[in-house]
Structure 1
Amino acid sequence: MTTLAPFRTTLIHPLPSAPTAAAKRLLLASPYSTASATLARPCSIIAPAATIRYRQNNSSSSSLQHGQQRSFSLLGFTTTSKIPKAVQSTTILETLHSTHPLPMRDEFMGTKRLTTKDLEAIPIDLTSHREPAGVSDWIAYQVVKSLRLPVDLFFRKKYIHRVVALETVAAVPGMVAGLLRHLRSLRRCSHDGGWISHLLHEAENERMHLLTWMKVAQPTFIERALVTAVQGTFFNVFFLLYIISDRTAHRVVGYLEEQAVISYTHMIEEIDNGVLKDGPAPQIAIDYWHLEHNATIRDVCLAMRIDENLHMETNHHLSDRIALKQEDLRVDIEKMQKEHGMVPNQNAEKVWTKGDKY
């Protein structure tokens, strides 16, 4: 009998200075704004697997910024040179801040920068493996195993180049699945059950993995061409697979992430054994995972392995839900929120439980 682990949620307490202070500066700086400068204090934020939503009097910081941009457009300000300097600097800086990617796990969003010991203390099961439970699972497992062999033969001990290729492919499934479920939600005029935001966040997380390794590795032209070809092929194959059987597609991703955990474990072992040279972590990784400023490549591998473990467990869980026809995540998430006292007033997930149809 298949059992379902509770779908992970994230509880975030925003810093007192964000985004209330930022929004206040934005409103006060603009002579054209008709919005009130009085904002409510941000409440706690709940979202599936770290989809972030700030709420102030039922308005998000993003919507406030978009409102400012619309006011400039209506007044004929088409270039930044025509915007008053005080407004220009505030608008641009706050908009850039709001688009900064956020990590998947709340351990990486604290106020304390993480050390190597902190990363090693985050619990993950390195021996976790989902045994195939049927024909669909067996096909997914065999497909992933068949993909491992050519990758091993081509890259061999070139671990950095291997993970560049791996992360290029790994960023595809979340985007494809999110796109197809978005279109399905539009066709049916019904809520997606909380999947889309998580899937797109997963794709963004994998993209940040790739951007990090691109700062470390310098792939050759042949390797870049191979990655491009593999990505294009995988996108189309996964697109068709998700249309035919989304359950199998998520199972494939779950097994791919199992291989990713194994690959990063091997990299860490090679660094510890002196086979692979360690070095300073790129600044993009330090900022994204909130690592110490003297963090190393080994620390980056630890952080990425934690992410891949989460993707593995989540995609296996989503595949199980499809098999059991329990695709609406909102019921279980709301139940967990209530059990832990994590439900704020006017929470987005709370609103959507009023009905399946808009």
Structure 2
Amino acid sequence: MMKSQLVGTALRHLGQYLFSSSVPAARAAEPVRTLLNEGLVQTPTGPVAVWLLRLPGAASLRSVSTLSAPLAVAGEEKEGKKAEVAAPKAGARVEDKAVVSHWGIPPSKATKEDGSEWRWSCFRPWETYEADLSIDLKKHHAPTTFLDKLAFWTVKSLRYPTDVFFQRRYGCRAMMLETVAAVPGMVGGLLLHLKSLRRFEHSGGWIKTLLNEAENERMHLMTFMEVSEPRWYERALVLAVQGVFFNAYFLGYLLSPKFAHRVVGYLEEEAIHSYTEFIKEIDNGTIENVPAPAIALDYWRLPQGSTLRDVVMVVRADEAHHRDVNHFASDIHYQGHELKKSPAPLGYH
């Protein structure tokens, strides 16, 4: 009975759109969105609105409801007052009012410590940190087992074509390699996430650690994009390399997480070497020591007046941290322990 009444009320609203005398007959077939914008019809409220939004072809009505004030729900009207939906002004573009954020909710406004407006949407003030520059850069995991040696020589074999392709263009080299370096953490975090769901168990913090690693590597890329501009064939190379590397690492992690983490550990050792050479080129004057990008100042909390050399220093420290985390993860698997049984190391933040 209640359902039939609801349907009847909904049909009456539809009749208002199509047959109301307030709407010219020639315009009755126009989209509901246009009629709402010009105030020729009234937006339905309550359960009727919910029912109408589920009808086929009601996308225009649904989009209006998300761009303007929310539809009133039955029982939420105040005494003697009905909630009203503000119609956009004539000639105004509704699309300009769309909210770009998670779930359509406006992001909270953040400010810096000095009170100035926070300009970055890719990371927030509480996600920034100061890199540990005192970390040991010379630490090396000596390969002992067969899988360790396989991982070590796999990485060494990949370094040769990279050196030939980029030579001493360390700015472009850093930017292009970061597009690949952000893949392992995301793949490992994804597979551990699915494993946690299958086994109904916690991950010991490893999921968040690996995802933070992927995000940190992506921020390296966002930073070096401000310093170097990739050429068209380098952009094309990213598509090919990322496609091959993602699938290869995905399969490798399924077969042997120990091997996969060891590969990343050795990749990070090579990254430390590359960034050390990058710093040498800056010190020799081969690469101009330009001012640090604004995004780097905020992300690593660098002081004003910092330069490209300071940015490379903190990025190299991040890579050393990734090296230690992945070698530690590989050691845990080698000893026969699940990652969930050993807590993840402290992150960068």
User: Normalization by structure 1: what TM-score?
Assistant: 0.63
Counterparts of 2:135 and 2:126 in 1: how far apart (Å)? 14
The alignment covers a number of residue pairs equal to 250
2:108 equivalent to 1:94: yes
Counterparts of 1:165 and 1:287 in 2: how far apart (Å)? 22
How far the C-alpha of 1:128 sits from its partner, in A, is: 1.2
CA RMSD, 1 decimal: 3.2
Cα 1:255–1:328 change in 2 (3 A) is closer
How far the C-alpha of 1:126 sits from its partner, in A, is: 2.0
- State whether residues 202 and 311 of structure 1, in contact with CA within 8 Å, keep that contact through their aligned partners in structure 2: yes
Counterparts of 1:272 and 1:287 in 2: how far apart (Å)? 24
User: Which residue of the partner structure matches residue 208 of structure 1?
Assistant: 219
User: Normalization by structure 2: what TM-score?
Assistant: 0.65
2:147 equivalent to 1:160: no
Cα 1:190–1:211 change in 2 (3 A) is same
How far the C-alpha of 1:95 sits from its partner, in A, is: 7.3
- State whether residues 104 and 205 of structure 1, in contact with CA within 8 Å, keep that contact through their aligned partners in structure 2: no
- Whichever residue aligns with residue 92 of structure 1, its letter is P
- State whether residues 104 and 201 of structure 1, in contact with CA within 8 Å, keep that contact through their aligned partners in structure 2: no
User: Which residue of the partner structure matches residue 247 of structure 1?
Assistant: 258
User: Which residue of the partner structure matches residue 66 of structure 2?
Assistant: 79
Seq. identity, %: 48
User: Which residue of the partner structure matches residue 285 of structure 2?
Assistant: 274
Q: Helix, strand or coil for the counterpart of 1:293?
A: coil
Cα 1:233–1:249 change in 2 (3 A) is same
Counterparts of 1:104 and 1:261 in 2: how far apart (Å)? 27
**1:296-343 C-alpha deviation (Å, 9 max, x unpaired):** 111110110110000000000000011112334566579x9xxxxxxx
Q: Which has the larger radius of gyration?
A: 2
Alignment of 1:1-358 (within 5 A): 78-82=65-69, 92-94=106-108, 100-101=122-123, 108=130, 122-328=133-339
**1:179-219 C-alpha deviation (Å, 9 max, x unpaired):** 11111111112112221011111000000001111111111
- Whichever residue aligns with residue 69 of structure 2, its letter is K
- State whether residues 215 and 282 of structure 1, in contact with CA within 8 Å, keep that contact through their aligned partners in structure 2: yes
| Structure 2 residue runs without a partner (length 5+) | 1-48, 51-61, 71-84, 87-98, 100-104, 111-117
Counterparts of 2:65 and 2:305 in 1: how far apart (Å)? 43
- State whether residues 253 and 260 of structure 2, in contact with CA within 8 Å, keep that contact through their aligned partners in structure 1: yes
Counterparts of 1:242 and 1:104 in 2: how far apart (Å)? 31
Q: Helix, strand or coil for the counterpart of 2:306?
A: coil
Counterparts of 1:106 and 1:285 in 2: how far apart (Å)? 10
Cα 1:151–1:332 change in 2 (3 A) is closer
How far the C-alpha of 1:287 sits from its partner, in A, is: 1.2
| Structure 1 residue runs without a partner (length 5+) | 1-72, 109-118, 337-358
- Whichever residue aligns with residue 288 of structure 2, its letter is K
Counterparts of 1:209 and 1:230 in 2: how far apart (Å)? 18
User: Which residue of the partner structure matches residue 3 of structure 1?
Assistant: none
- Whichever residue aligns with residue 239 of structure 1, its letter is F
Counterparts of 1:78 and 1:282 in 2: how far apart (Å)? 40
How far the C-alpha of 1:104 sits from its partner, in A, is: 11
Higher RCO, Cα 8 Å, sep 6+: 1
